[in-house]
Amino acid sequence: MKRSTAALLLSIDRAAKCRKRMYLWTLTETKVVDYRQAIGRWRKFVSLCASRSRYTKKSVFSGIRVFQLHPRGHGLHVHVLTGQWYAVGVVRKMWSRVGGGRIDVTIIPISCRDYLSGDIVKQRERPAAFRGVRMWQTFGGFRGCLCKDVVITGKYTECFRLAFHSVANLGGTDYAFTREGLIRIANLCWKIYWLSCCCGLNQKMLLEIAMGEKK
């Protein structure tokens, strides 16, 4: 699972916290337009929501949005998941004001909240049209979650990294994940670990031993 997908799942859980149901919105265009134009329209819509929120002193529309290219060529769809009720008439009026089309909203139980993340998980590769565009994002003041890679530190972990890089330099990354490569990594890892524990060798000496395996 990618960090972006994990962050989306955690953000959905945050939005669903202490709630019995959620609201799934789908915003579409009146006709098929270029994706750049559709994304620009969404940004104008978010800006309009922010302006109205400052005027009314309360949130007009906020949540998590996901871009999806319709598989049948119907253009860009914007899915939005919100954890609270919003007036459909107000949202439809603002969406129409920026040139948007239809709006559909469905009440979904908490157990079905992963439907939104499924649009991201199913797209294993980012569509070429979305290069440099965030597939999902929070808006309207809702604060999502961030994810970082967990790096496990320790003597054995350092030895494993040295062994992996040594084998990868020997036969390439693909070779390192083969059965022969993994066996070689395991044997080299234990060798480096034993030397580090019994002989007290430093990082530089261990690296020389690991790189010496490629000769």
pLDDT at 214 over 50: no
Q: How many residues are present in the chain? A: 215
Structure tokens at 99: 């040139």
Which of these, 57, 39, 59, lies nearest to 49 by C-alpha position?
A: 59
In single-letter form, the type of residue at position 91 comes to: V
pLDDT at 95 over 60: yes
- Which of these ranges, 19-28, 32-41, 98-107, 115-124, has the smallest mean pLDDT? 115-124
pLDDT at 181: 77
Distances, alpha carbon 141 to alpha carbons 16, 49, 54, 56, 187, in Å: 16, 10, 11, 14, 52
Strand order across the beta sheet in which 103-109 lies: 103-109, 21-27, 76-82, 63-69, 136-139
pLDDT at 170 over 80: no
Phi, psi angles (nearest 5°) of residue 199: -105, -10
Higher pLDDT, residue 204 or 55: 55
pLDDT band, residue 27 (cuts 50/70/90): confident
Q: Give the pLDDT mean for 183-211.
A: 68
Which of these, 31, 85, 178, lies nearest to 186 by C-alpha position?
A: 178
pLDDT at 215: 42
- Which of these ranges, 43-47, 51-55, 115-119, has the smallest mean pLDDT? 115-119
Taking only the tens place, the pLDDT of each residue in 172-185 is: 777 777 778 777 77
Distances, alpha carbon 128 to alpha carbons 8, 123, 137, in Å: 21, 11, 18
Q: Give the pLDDT mean for 32-57.
A: 82
Q: Give the pLDDT mean for 45-61.
A: 80
Q: CA 76, CA 120: separation in Å to the nearest integer?
A: 14
In single-letter form, the type of residue at position 14 comes to: R
Q: CA 97, CA 95: separation in Å to the nearest integer?
A: 5
DSSP string, 19-61: -SEEEEEEE--SS---HHHHHHHHHHHHHHHHHHHHHHTS-SS
What is the DSSP-derived secondary structure letter of residue 193? H
pLDDT at 87: 84
Q: Give the pLDDT mean for 141-162.
A: 75
Q: CA 75, CA 91: separation in Å to the nearest integer?
A: 21
Q: Give the pLDDT mean for 90-111.
A: 85
pLDDT at 169: 75
